[in-house]
Structure 1
């Protein structure tokens, strides 16, 4: 018997790198997603984009929008594929209440930061986030550059 080797051993499907640059991320949540069959096949092929996605809460349920899952060319002819449809998130009531509290009381937003495999399920990592201003972004870039320079200096000396 031969085992199937995964392209990505960590299980990460897609990352939203833009979110860490644009927002201060605070609380993390792990949510399941309500997906259709063609979406799972496309996710296995890696055809996912999280860059402009965000989460909203409506009638006590959480939904994610602007996640683009491109359909495969081999998709069935009788299935209508909508790559940008709004998908329901599977969260516990207490988690949804925490998200709603962050939205209402603290003026935060909810951003999808990563999509990954957990066993055979697709999970979405979402975070409560507060938008960064321009000077915050410059500070982050400055700190990252300084950390790189320190690493280089330590390599040269050591």
Structure 2
């Protein structure tokens, strides 16, 4: 008997596209997310959003704030569903130490960029990031436009 695949074949649950525009992303980490049962069911139904999320360090632990997981309509009545509660991130001690050091001493932000399935577990891709200034954002847009123009020119010349 073969396993049934989810409708989203790539395994991606939610993306934070704004993070690449707002920050210079440097070091990548993969963290597990401590979820309740109703949250996993909602994620399977595609009701997760991480567009305005960030990670904070509190008492030597990492927490995801701002992630919205909307409860299903058929959720149990005896479970209190808080769609924006802070969720603990599961990281190794060495990774936590690196995140704490970079965010406190060097002024880095910790940004969540993607939530995805890894086998049967929900994982979160987080980055150590530095905020971009407005002129950096303009440079990024200019570079992206140039790459697009260059590919059009090459495609047109190939014909």
Q: Which runs of 5+ in 1 are unaligned?
A: none
Q: Does 1:12 align with 2:23?
A: no
> 2: CA distance between counterparts of 1:28 and 1:12?
17
> 2: CA distance between counterparts of 1:5 and 1:88?
27
Q: Which runs of 5+ in 2 are unaligned?
A: none
Q: Secondary structure at the match of 1:147?
A: helix
> 2: CA distance between counterparts of 1:48 and 1:132?
26
Against the structure 1 CA distance between its residues 31 and 2, is the aligned structure 2 distance closer, same or farther, given a 3 Å change threshold?
A: closer
Partner of 2:70: 70
- The correspondence of residues 106-145 of structure 1 with structure 2, limited to 5 A, is 106-145=106-145
Partner of 1:41: 41
Q: Secondary structure at the match of 1:51?
A: coil
> 2: CA distance between counterparts of 1:138 and 1:118?
35
* Superposition RMSD in Å: 1.0
Moved over 3 A (4+): none
Which whole-Å deviations, capped at 9, do the CAs of 1:7-49 have from their partners, x for residues lacking one?
A: 2211110000000000000001000011000000110111111
What is the TM-score of this pair, normalised by structure 2? Answer: 0.96
Q: How many residues align?
A: 158
